Amino acid sequence: MIVVAVVGPTATGKSDLALDLARALSPGGAQPGEATAPAEVVNADAFQLYRGMDVGTAKVPPAERRGVTHHQLDVLDPAEDASVARYQSEARADLDAVAARGARAVVVGGSGLYVRALLDRMDFPGTDPQVRERLAARAEAEGRRVLHAELARLDPQAATSIGPSNTRRIVRALEVIEITGRPYTANLPRQEYVRPAVQLGLDCDRDALDARVGARVERMWAGGLVDEVRGLASPAQGGDGPGLGATAARAVGYAELLACWRGESTLDEARAAVVANTRRLARKQMGWFGRDPRVQWLDAASPTLLDDALAVVRAADDDRLPRPGAGPVRRSLGS
């Protein structure tokens, strides 16, 4: 059964559409398809993986999930660093389990790398601390340009994409080449699904999206975002909780409040920064998903959004979707 993924920028209503689809694609819904069990949602938002990060990530509260089973929510402690490789393994296991129950999986999230890791062929080579230490020492002794030249000889495509000043990525690329015996670029994600899937992208006029973002931040502030972050951050971070790890502390809404408590801004300035950074995030997400020709774009403001989405799912089920690049592409946010 084809996996349905709802992707696109933040604040476009992905979670609501995913819930609507999960209900409609379940037995007895508007479009049961081949399903013999209720559809289930699999999260692909990197920060909704964290327990306690609810208000700032716009996580759907349990009472509002309409009885739909959700996976990959609240699976990490905020002090832990997220791992895309770990997410790939565990979320793919969830997809396997959903399929084994005869149900449809509805993936939802705006973290592009996580969506790609879940749906596409994407390998995560291991690490070798000794190899990395040796390469880092060489970069220090011989200069990073020497290592970049070596990378250009071994993998020209990687050298072109990794600038000569990015020592960390040069070292990582050479480490992967030595460990795997293959070019670094051979391990990069390919636009090739590991199982049948269709991606529904929610597009939105830029001005309308900016207004949605502003309204979302208003709701988060009213919903207790400041208290939530204070309850998670450690005393050293300005809070009363156990502490946010490096990954969680970078989340929009959390990073700005931590900076405020370090004395870098006022609370009002932090709030304005959350709005600005959320808008910046939305444009970045649109750039990421907009480069994928497989995404079927829908108008987030359409009064027939669910019907539009179901029509795409039906076409995908029947193998009637146009080939990537054959149809019009909505890119309103990218302009």
Enter the tokens of residue 25.
Answer: 């694609």
Q: Is 59 annotated as a binding residue?
A: no
Q: Is 8 annotated as a binding residue?
A: yes
**Distance in angstroms (rounded) separating the CA atoms of residues 29 and 23:** 6
Q: Is 9 annotated as a binding residue?
A: yes
Task: State the residue for tokens 């979707």.
Answer: 321
Q: Is 243 annotated as a binding residue?
A: no
Q: Is 201 annotated as a binding residue?
A: no
Number of other residues whose CB lies within 10 A of the CB of residue 266:
10
- DSSP code of residue 81: P
Q: Is 247 annotated as a binding residue?
A: no
| 3-class SS of residue 97 | helix
Question: Identity (one letter) of the amino acid at 117?
Answer: A
Q: Is 14 annotated as a binding residue?
A: yes
Question: Per DSSP, which regions of 165-243 are E strands?
Answer: 197-203
**Distance in angstroms (rounded) separating the CA atoms of residues 239 and 227:** 9
Burial of 45 (0-12, 13-18, 19+ CB in 10 A): buried
Q: Is 10 annotated as a binding residue?
A: yes
| 3-class SS of residue 47 | helix
CA 3 to chain centre: 16
Instruction: Strand 197-203: give its sheet, edge to edge.
Output: 70-71, 40-43, 105-108, 3-7, 197-203, 296-299
The DSSP string of 309-333 is: HHHHHHHHHTT-SPPTTSS----GG
Residue ranges for the known binding site for ATP are: 8-15
Residue ranges for the known binding site for substrate are: 10-15
Residue ranges for the known binding site are: 8-15
